[in-house]
Amino acid sequence: MTAVLWAVGVVVALALLVLVAVTVVMRTKSPRGLAVVRGFNRRFNNPRMLRQAGKEGSPLAAVRHVGRRSGASYSTPIGVLPMGDDFLAILSYGTGTDWLRNIEAAGSADLVTDGRTHRVAADRVVGRPEAMPYLPAGQRPFVRLFGVTEFLVLRRVGAAQG
């Protein structure tokens, strides 16, 4: 029994250590740390999240974009919220993400959210004060905790499909 409790304690301590490390990386926006987190997410988390992203009732959307250099098609899970007739994307990693740079280069992308597909364009980056009224109360503490200060307004440029 003591060995089991010790093992559980080690697992909990390691999980807390990882959580603290990720929080520090996200708050400081350390380029090296963000590269590690993005690489982990790209390889392990994103494929799992994409199974539900964009479906009706899912808190995640999927942005479908074309690589600015490769021309390949990509789908990336992102957090978006309705913002009037447009959408507000949470830029957890800041403005240097591949999906955002791809949208800017192409001029538009498809955003799949709540079972519908919308053609969108990157309109402008806004700060936390402008974005906060659109965030659900339960999401605001996490935005602060992870130091998210930038949000992207995605403007609809075509009729919804689906």
Residues of the chain with pLDDT under 50: none
Q: Please name the amino acid found at residue 19.
A: L
| Tens-place pLDDT, residues 97-143 | 999 999 999 999 999 999 999 999 999 999 999 999 999 999 999 99
pLDDT at residue 51, rounded to an integer: 97
In this prediction the pTM is 0.84
pLDDT at residue 89, rounded to an integer: 98
pLDDT at residue 63, rounded to an integer: 98
Asked if residue 41 lies in contact with residue 33, where contact means CB atoms within 8 angstroms, the answer is no
Percent of the chain with pLDDT over 90: 68
Domains of the chain: 2-156 (2.30.110.10)
- Element spanning 98, H or E: helix 98-106
